[in-house]
Protein backbone atom coordinates (compact mmCIF):
# COMPACT_ATOMS: atom_id res chain seq x y z
CA UNK A 1 0.00 0.00 0.00
CA UNK A 2 1.42 3.41 -0.98
CA UNK A 3 1.17 6.32 1.44
CA UNK A 4 -0.27 9.52 0.00
CA UNK A 5 0.55 13.06 1.10
CA UNK A 6 -1.44 14.33 4.06
CA UNK A 7 -4.36 16.56 3.14
CA UNK A 8 -4.04 20.26 3.83
CA UNK A 9 -5.49 21.01 7.25
CA UNK A 10 -5.22 23.74 9.84
CA UNK A 11 -4.78 21.17 12.59
CA UNK A 12 -1.92 18.81 13.38
CA UNK A 13 -2.56 15.32 12.01
CA UNK A 14 -3.09 12.63 14.65
CA UNK A 15 -1.75 9.63 12.76
CA UNK A 16 -2.17 5.99 13.54
CA UNK A 17 0.82 3.99 12.30
CA UNK A 18 0.13 0.81 14.29
CA UNK A 19 -3.08 -1.14 13.75
CA UNK A 20 -2.66 -3.93 16.28
CA UNK A 21 -5.21 -2.79 18.89
CA UNK A 22 -8.47 -1.12 17.86
CA UNK A 23 -9.74 -0.92 21.46
CA UNK A 24 -6.60 0.89 22.60
CA UNK A 25 -6.88 3.29 19.64
CA UNK A 26 -10.47 4.13 20.60
CA UNK A 27 -9.44 4.59 24.25
CA UNK A 28 -6.70 7.02 23.16
CA UNK A 29 -9.18 8.99 21.04
CA UNK A 30 -11.67 9.08 23.92
CA UNK A 31 -9.00 10.31 26.32
CA UNK A 32 -7.35 12.99 24.21
CA UNK A 33 -10.21 14.20 22.03
CA UNK A 34 -9.49 15.86 18.73
CA UNK A 35 -9.03 19.54 19.61
CA UNK A 36 -6.10 20.97 17.65
CA UNK A 37 -5.79 17.72 15.66
CA UNK A 38 -7.16 16.02 12.53
CA UNK A 39 -7.51 12.28 13.10
CA UNK A 40 -6.08 10.08 10.32
CA UNK A 41 -6.20 6.29 10.66
CA UNK A 42 -4.99 5.28 7.20
CA UNK A 43 -3.50 1.77 6.88
CA UNK A 44 -1.17 3.28 4.26
CA UNK A 45 0.71 4.93 7.14
CA UNK A 46 1.33 1.64 8.95
CA UNK A 47 4.92 1.26 10.08
CA UNK A 48 6.18 4.46 8.43
CA UNK A 49 9.35 5.95 9.90
CA UNK A 50 9.73 9.55 11.06
CA UNK A 51 11.45 10.65 7.80
CA UNK A 52 8.76 8.89 5.74
CA UNK A 53 6.00 10.66 7.69
CA UNK A 54 7.71 14.05 7.40
CA UNK A 55 7.97 13.53 3.62
CA UNK A 56 4.15 13.30 3.46
CA UNK A 57 3.61 16.78 4.93
CA UNK A 58 2.36 19.18 2.23
CA UNK A 59 4.40 22.26 1.34
CA UNK A 60 3.23 25.33 3.25
CA UNK A 61 1.52 23.35 6.00
CA UNK A 62 0.12 25.42 8.87
CA UNK A 63 0.55 22.96 11.72
CA UNK A 64 3.62 22.59 13.95
CA UNK A 65 3.74 18.86 14.60
CA UNK A 66 2.58 15.42 13.59
CA UNK A 67 1.08 13.44 16.47
CA UNK A 68 1.71 9.72 16.03
CA UNK A 69 0.18 6.70 17.71
CA UNK A 70 2.89 4.17 16.89
CA UNK A 71 4.08 0.76 18.06
CA UNK A 72 5.47 2.26 21.28
CA UNK A 73 2.11 3.91 21.97
CA UNK A 74 0.27 0.61 21.74
CA UNK A 75 2.88 -1.51 23.52
CA UNK A 76 3.30 0.62 26.64
CA UNK A 77 0.91 1.00 29.56
CA UNK A 78 1.40 4.77 29.47
CA UNK A 79 0.28 5.07 25.81
CA UNK A 80 2.64 8.00 25.09
CA UNK A 81 2.29 9.55 21.65
CA UNK A 82 5.16 10.68 19.43
CA UNK A 83 5.31 14.36 18.42
CA UNK A 84 7.33 15.11 15.29
CA UNK A 85 8.49 18.66 14.55
CA UNK A 86 7.43 19.84 11.09
CA UNK A 87 7.81 23.60 11.66
CA UNK A 88 11.28 24.37 13.05
CA UNK A 89 13.61 21.43 12.42
CA UNK A 90 11.77 18.67 10.59
CA UNK A 91 12.03 15.27 12.20
CA UNK A 92 12.91 16.11 15.80
CA UNK A 93 10.78 14.12 18.24
CA UNK A 94 9.66 13.69 21.81
CA UNK A 95 6.91 11.66 23.43
CA UNK A 96 3.86 13.01 25.28
CA UNK A 97 1.50 11.26 27.68
CA UNK A 98 -2.16 11.45 26.61
CA UNK A 99 -3.28 13.90 29.31
CA UNK A 100 -0.64 16.41 28.16
CA UNK A 101 -1.25 16.17 24.40
CA UNK A 102 -3.87 18.93 24.12
CA UNK A 103 -1.70 21.35 26.07
CA UNK A 104 1.41 20.59 24.02
CA UNK A 105 -0.23 20.67 20.59
CA UNK A 106 -2.34 23.71 21.45
CA UNK A 107 0.63 25.71 22.75
CA UNK A 108 2.76 24.75 19.75
CA UNK A 109 -0.09 25.66 17.37
CA UNK A 110 -0.45 29.19 18.73
CA UNK A 111 3.31 29.68 19.14
CA UNK A 112 2.94 30.04 22.90
CA UNK A 113 5.72 27.44 23.26
CA UNK A 114 8.37 26.16 20.87
CA UNK A 115 9.48 22.63 20.15
CA UNK A 116 12.73 23.49 21.96
CA UNK A 117 10.73 24.49 25.05
CA UNK A 118 9.21 21.02 25.15
CA UNK A 119 12.52 19.29 24.47
CA UNK A 120 13.85 21.14 27.53
CA UNK A 121 10.86 19.95 29.59
CA UNK A 122 10.85 16.21 28.92
CA UNK A 123 11.77 13.84 31.72
CA UNK A 124 14.76 11.47 31.75
CA UNK A 125 12.84 8.99 29.57
CA UNK A 126 12.16 11.63 26.90
CA UNK A 127 8.46 12.01 27.76
CA UNK A 128 6.63 15.28 28.37
CA UNK A 129 4.17 15.28 31.28
CA UNK A 130 1.98 18.01 32.72
CA UNK A 131 3.20 19.23 36.11
CA UNK A 132 0.81 19.34 39.06
CA UNK A 133 0.48 23.17 38.94
CA UNK A 134 -0.51 22.94 35.27
CA UNK A 135 -3.01 20.19 36.08
CA UNK A 136 -4.59 22.37 38.78
CA UNK A 137 -4.79 25.40 36.47
CA UNK A 138 -6.39 23.31 33.71
CA UNK A 139 -8.93 21.90 36.15
CA UNK A 140 -9.80 25.43 37.29
CA UNK A 141 -10.22 26.63 33.72
CA UNK A 142 -12.35 23.63 32.80
CA UNK A 143 -14.62 24.20 35.79
CA UNK A 144 -15.11 27.89 35.01
CA UNK A 145 -18.75 28.49 34.17
CA UNK A 146 -19.77 24.96 35.21
CA UNK A 147 -22.29 24.06 37.94
CA UNK A 148 -20.52 23.75 41.27
CA UNK A 149 -17.69 25.99 40.11
CA UNK A 150 -15.58 27.89 42.60
CA UNK A 151 -15.81 31.14 40.64
CA UNK A 152 -18.56 33.68 40.76
CA UNK A 153 -19.93 34.91 37.46
CA UNK A 154 -21.94 38.03 36.91
CA UNK A 155 -24.71 38.51 34.37
CA UNK A 156 -23.92 40.71 31.41
CA UNK A 157 -25.40 44.21 31.75
CA UNK A 158 -28.58 44.91 29.80
CA UNK A 159 -27.89 46.97 26.73
CA UNK A 160 -30.31 49.49 25.47
CA UNK A 161 -31.31 49.10 21.83
Domain ranges across the chain: 12-136
Distance in angstroms (rounded) separating the CA atoms of residues 51 and 84: 10
Q: How many whole angstroms separate alpha carbon 93 and alpha carbon 84?
A: 5
Enumerate residues 6+ apart whose C-beta is below 8 A from 40.
6, 13, 14, 15, 16
pLDDT digits (tens, 9 = 90+) for 60-81: 999 999 999 999 999 999 999 9
12-136 classified as CATH 3.40.50.800: yes
Alpha helix (H) ranges present in 2-125?
22-32, 50-54, 71-75, 101-109, 115-119
| Distance (Å, whole) CA 45 – CA 1 | 9
- Per the CB < 8 A criterion, the answer to whether 99 and 130 are in contact is yes
Statement: the pTM of the whole predicted model exceeds 0.85:
no
Least confident of 105-114, 118-127, 128-137: 128-137
Q: What pLDDT, on a 0 to 100 scale, did the predictor assign at position 7?
A: 87
Query: With b meaning 16 or more CB within 10 Å and e meaning fewer, what string describes 24-33?
Result: ebeebbeebe
**Greater pLDDT, 12 or 2:** 12
Amino acid sequence: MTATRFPETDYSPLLRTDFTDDEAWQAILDEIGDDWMTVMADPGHQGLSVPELVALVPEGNRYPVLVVADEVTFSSAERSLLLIDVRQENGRTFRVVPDAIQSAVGNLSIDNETFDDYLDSVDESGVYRIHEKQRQALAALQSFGQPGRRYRSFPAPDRES
